[in-house]
Amino acid sequence: MKKKLTFYLIIGLLILLDSVLITSPNLLGKIGLFIYKYHYLRTFPRTLLTVSLVAGVALSLSEVIHLLVSNKWIKRTSGFIVLLLLLLLSIGVLIKTNMDFSAWTYSHTGAKFRYGAYLLSLILIIVFTFGLITLPDDQRAWPPSPSGGEEKKEN
């Protein structure tokens, strides 16, 4: 339980840092936010809400899969595959972000804004990696031992 609390605290701090970075574009970045109508990224509260919703959905998906596996509604293998697919999708988002910010339009938005965009993808990767690591094991009963659970007594 302490491990999850620490994890949620770290994710919360990363969300806060990401929101600060995204709301700090340079002049060209601010013009781009206006032109492309990214109204959800113009102010800190809107950005914090947007980043929190994205991370919250990722955390919720991870926790639902964890709950389904621990209650044995789905097998651990199925949960592992779903979390692995979500992790691969998050890596794809990071690659897409890298490609977008290598293009001319987004490359001039400022370093803080770019780092914020990368950090959002990394938050998703961290959430799904933690979900994979903490996925509960199958609790199968072991077959009884040949000795019947009794130790041999020596005379």
pLDDT digits (tens, 9 = 90+) for 51-96: 999 999 999 999 999 999 988 888 989 999 999 999 999 999 999 9
Q: How many domains does the chain have?
A: 1
Look at residue 92 in the predicted model and tell me its pLDDT.
96
Full pLDDT tens readout for the chain, 155 residues = 788 899 999 999 999 999 998 887 766 666 665 655 666 666 788 889 999 999 999 999 999 999 999 888 889 899 999 999 999 999 999 999 888 878 766 666 777 878 888 999 999 999 999 999 998 886 655 566 666 555 555 55
Q: Does residue 143 lie in a domain region?
A: no
3 Cβ contact list (under 8 Å, min separation 6): 134
Look at residue 13 in the predicted model and tell me its pLDDT.
96
User: For the CA atoms of the chain, what is the radius of gyration?
Assistant: 22
Q: Does residue 31 lie in a domain region?
A: yes
Half-sphere exposure of 23 (CA within 13 A, CB side): 18
Distances (CA, A) of 12 to 25, 34, 150: 22, 28, 51
Reported pTM: 0.80
Look at residue 106 in the predicted model and tell me its pLDDT.
65
Q: Which domain holds residue 43?
A: 2-133
d(CA 63, CA 128): 10
Q: Does residue 153 lie in a domain region?
A: no
Q: Does residue 147 lie in a domain region?
A: no
Q: Does residue 90 lie in a domain region?
A: yes
Q: Does residue 154 lie in a domain region?
A: no
d(CA 99, CA 71): 40
Q: Does residue 114 lie in a domain region?
A: yes
Q: Does residue 23 lie in a domain region?
A: yes
Look at residue 2 in the predicted model and tell me its pLDDT.
85
